[in-house]
Structure 1
Amino acid sequence: MNWRPRLVALDIDGTLTHVGSNDISPAVKAAITRVTEHGSLVVLSTGRSVIGTTPIAAQVPTSFAICSNGAVWWDPARAEVTKRTTFDPGPTIKTLQALLPDTVFAVEQTGVGSLSLGEFLPGDLWGTTRQATFDELAATPTPRLVMRWLDHTPAELSFALRDLELPGVEWSVDHTEAWLTAVPLNVSKGSALEELRQELGISASDTLAIGDGGNDVEMLRWAALGVAMGQAPARVHAVADEIGPSVLEDGAAQVLSRFFPA
């Protein structure tokens, strides 16, 4: 195949690692290294915060990181946030609390951790987590609000939210946990990557993206070639140009090896 993308956007959880893990297989590490050896750029594009992204960026060559579903941009070379878009989380929390009273919430404090309303499970949140009141959360502009519905499944959450309207934010439901993420309106992995692509002067036809979740839909649509992981849900497969192997099969490495051989 003669085509070789110049910008490669990679989701983390369920694409480079198993969900919630920081362990990247040797095959995936090697494939990502070959991307940069061939002169292309690697962009980590994730729902994780900067704190959750740094352990991944430390393991593979990373040109840029789009964190918090596009709301936070991080430059690994300078180890600094270069862009941060926020919203006021109070109205969204109120709407969700009225619908699902037994949920817990956290707002991201970039580079620090989270303020939480209720107890999350161990390992759910990155950085320092401090319990706070609703008023404190509502008074904290944030790039990312997360909600977990404890003791429920992703399918139950999706069904409960089937008619939900959340004005002023973009939101998605995870397919592995009963977990909702909200970010500022008109912000997504896809919108952030398009802005970055234009800044870098890379042609739209020279882009590749690999992902597995609902928050990857806009990114897969954005890319000239959007590849969904094999284990991704049907709604993600439906928007992808191709369906690759699963994360259990080091699917990201297999896809990248087609364009960046050893």
Structure 2
Amino acid sequence: MATEAPGDDVNLYGIRAVERTCDLLDTLAASGGPVSLTALAKACGLPKTSAFRYLSTLVARNYVERVGDSNDFRLGVGVYSLQADHLERLGQIARPHLERLRDELGETANMGILVGREVAYVDIVESTHAVRLAARPRDRDALHCTALGKAILARMPLEAAEKLVGERFSPRTERTILSWPALRDDLDRVRAQGYAVDDEENEIGGRCIAVPIPIESPRIAISVSSVTPRLPMDKVPVVAARLRAVAAVIAEEAAGL
């Protein structure tokens, strides 16, 4: 008759806990956005109380974020924790360049990273103008209607980009791209010209130019955002050229990380 070591039950439940944790993370990753506690519990075959306990631990470790005071959850920036030191050092390298961009152009400079199926703002240097566009660090935006998102998508193979955005084309304004063929054409333009533009697609009255930082990982981009009167379309190529130069310097300085 076989005997059990004292830790067998612990190991067994530990494995199950890891599996359930992975199930929750996989479900959130596949969703591309916030998912309710009820939906997560159902998808993973867990009681809501158990799902909530797992999620609370993941929230504490920044792998998952709770959306406000709701019972909705989404992937957190901690999913990059295995690269946390790398990302932190990359941010330290980029910060002075973003500050110089803000000072030189007088507009808000941003850095965003791909998290799940959204772009998350990891650093923002705000314009000093009273009227300005500015998100907050850790805010999220959709990929299809933001310059940061499109800059990130444009560096990916088309098949991967299409799979990532799926059919998630929620309208933000009357100018938002709402289909994959239209987005694919826009991504072709991004590749050809070397920069992405959000022309009032995410917010009426706002315009944003972004370029990817040419590194393999993480998928990351920088941008400059402003209100349309201060950033007319004829100024976009000039700002884009400055962004490309800064992105190249950041990539070069980050090469040794």
Relative to the length of structure 1, the TM-score reads 0.28
Calculate the TM-score normalised by the size of structure 2: 0.28
More helix by share: 2
Structure showing greater Rg: 2
Structure number with the bigger relative contact order (C-alpha 8 A, sep ≥ 6) is 1
Task: Flag the structure with higher strand content.
Answer: 1
